[in-house]
Amino acid sequence: MKKLFKSPTFIAEISANHNGSLINAKKLIKDAKKYGADYVKLQTYTPNTMTLNSKKKDFVIRKGLWKKTSLWDLYEKAQTPFEWQKKLFDYAAKIKIRCFSTPFDETAVNLLEKLNCPIYKIASFEMNHIPLIEKVAKTRKPMIISTGMANIEEIDLAYETALRYGAKEIILLYCVSNYPARSEDFNLNNINILKKRYNCRVGFSDHSVNNSIAKAALAAGAEIFEKHIALKNIKGADYKFSLKGYEIFKYAKDLKETQLLLGKNTFYRNFSERNYRKYRRSIYTSKSIKKGEKFKKDNITIVRPGFGLQPKYFKKILNKRSPFSIRKFHKIPNNFAKKLKLT
């Protein structure tokens, strides 16, 4: 199957950082394009598709960035309204950046299907929403499933459900669902564990506050990277762990440079090194040698530079007779390996 995403791919998530403004949402999409993201991603939900309008203890966030906020109030403020979705998809198409979304319930999938959403992401907090996974899988479109908080049994169920209901390509995102996530929260070896267990491509949903985690994740095997973005002077709900302005460019640049450092998955030497091979060792004469004279340790030696016969033939050439005279400090020609049957 042709790869859906090149490696590394950077998905810019606008999330709630529009602060309730369609103009800001479009500015975020523009920044994603301007600063080098490969995709921009929306979220598709309304408060009533997420929770109940209650202030009871169960419905109030107790810790973290949104402490003491009710779920309803958070989602009412953070939503990207359904009526914006077509406008944002159209705007992304106009400025030529690919766009998709995270649906949070079946009605969101219905809307996104009308908009020809090309890819679906299942959020970490929805990974146990099996009916939603079934609904998305039935579209037979590529699925990205984020794995924050999930144990292996839960990932097994989500992955197997997606396959069973028709998903053609599944990408798992390794994620630590802390906002922001600290360096000590990450066990990036899990990336390779997921790749081996599910034999699929694995990405990284990045809620950290520096680029070093993403670079390490790329080295650990992640191929797709999702990171929240924000406008510089507008503090949305996810501002604290989001990239702003030039930081977006730097993130994309760091991923590409790290990929260049890692290179290919096959052993090869860079062409730029080739010029230095001539400064390695090879076999030269330390004395003049007459035609028919034997090569001995006192008339040949292994020295730099590397224009002569390779050192691996040194023992084999000893006591062989020279086919012609060779001056002192002259290289033993490379064709001697064949001429003297050393190979």
pLDDT in tens, 125-138: 999 999 999 999 99
In this prediction, residue 66 carries a pLDDT of 77
My answer on whether 41 and 174 are in the same domain is: yes
Tell which wins on pLDDT, 85 or 180: 85
Domain boundary among 262, 284, 299: 262
Instruction: Answer for the pair 48, 106: CB distance below 8 angstroms, yes or no.
Output: no
pLDDT at 281 over 50: yes
CA distance 162 to 138: 8
My answer on whether 103 and 195 are in the same domain is: yes
Buried b (16+ CB within 10 A) or exposed e, 145-160: bbbbebeeeebeebbe
In this prediction, residue 1 carries a pLDDT of 40
My answer on whether 237 and 294 are in the same domain is: no
pLDDT at 4 over 90: no
pLDDT at 2 over 70: no
With a pLDDT cut of 70, the percent of the chain lying above it is 99
In this prediction, residue 3 carries a pLDDT of 63
Domain containing 311 equals 275-339
Domains in the chain, number: 2
My answer on whether 81 and 206 are in the same domain is: yes
My answer on whether 168 and 241 are in the same domain is: yes
For the stretch 229-260, pLDDT in tens is 999 988 877 888 899 999 999 999 999 999 99
Identify the bridge partners of residue 13 per DSSP, sorted by sequence position: 41, 228
Q: What average pLDDT does range 46-54 have in this prediction?
A: 96
- 3-state class (DSSP) for residue 172: strand
My answer on whether 192 and 232 are in the same domain is: yes
pLDDT at 23 over 50: yes
Largest Cα separation within the chain, whole Å, is: 101
My answer on whether 42 and 66 are in the same domain is: yes
Residue 158 falls within a domain, yes or no? yes
Residue 3 falls within a domain, yes or no? no
For the stretch 99-127, pLDDT in tens is 999 999 999 999 999 999 999 999 999 99
CATH number of the domain bearing residue 138: 3.20.20.70
Burial of 261 (0-12, 13-18, 19+ CB in 10 A): exposed
Residue 269 falls within a domain, yes or no? no
Q: Pairing relation of β-strands 202-206 and 224-230?
A: parallel
pTM of the predicted model as reported, rounded to 2 decimal places:
0.85
Residue 151 falls within a domain, yes or no? yes
Residue 298 falls within a domain, yes or no? yes
Tell which wins on pLDDT, 116 or 182: 116
pLDDT at 302 over 80: yes
My answer on whether 191 and 134 are in the same domain is: yes
Quote the mean pLDDT of the chain: 94
CATH number of the domain bearing residue 307: 3.90.1210.10
What does DSSP assign to residue 79? -
Instruction: Answer for the pair 35, 203: CB distance below 8 angstroms, yes or no.
Output: no
Instruction: Answer for the pair 171, 201: CB distance below 8 angstroms, yes or no.
Output: yes
Q: What average pLDDT does range 261-278 have in this prediction?
A: 84
Q: Which residues contact 19 (CB under 8 A, 6 or more apart)?
A: 234, 235, 236
CA distance 147 to 124: 5
My answer on whether 166 and 288 are in the same domain is: no
Domain boundary among 262, 284, 307: 262
Backbone angles phi, psi at 223, to 5 degrees: -120, -25
Instruction: Answer for the pair 187, 217: CB distance below 8 angstroms, yes or no.
Output: no
pLDDT at 331 over 50: yes
My answer on whether 258 and 282 are in the same domain is: no
Q: Report the run of H or E that residue 143 belongs to, with start and end.
A: strand 143-146
pLDDT at 209 over 50: yes
Q: Distances from the Cα of 270 to the Cαs of 86, 148, 190, 275, 305, in angstroms?
A: 47, 38, 31, 11, 20
- 3-state class (DSSP) for residue 200: coil
Cβ-based neighbour number of residue 92 at 10 Å: 22
Q: What average pLDDT does range 151-171 have in this prediction?
A: 97
Residue 1 falls within a domain, yes or no? no
My answer on whether 137 and 230 are in the same domain is: yes
DSSP string over 14-52: -TTTTTT-HHHHHHHHHHHHHTT-SEEEEEE--HHHH--
My answer on whether 136 and 226 are in the same domain is: yes
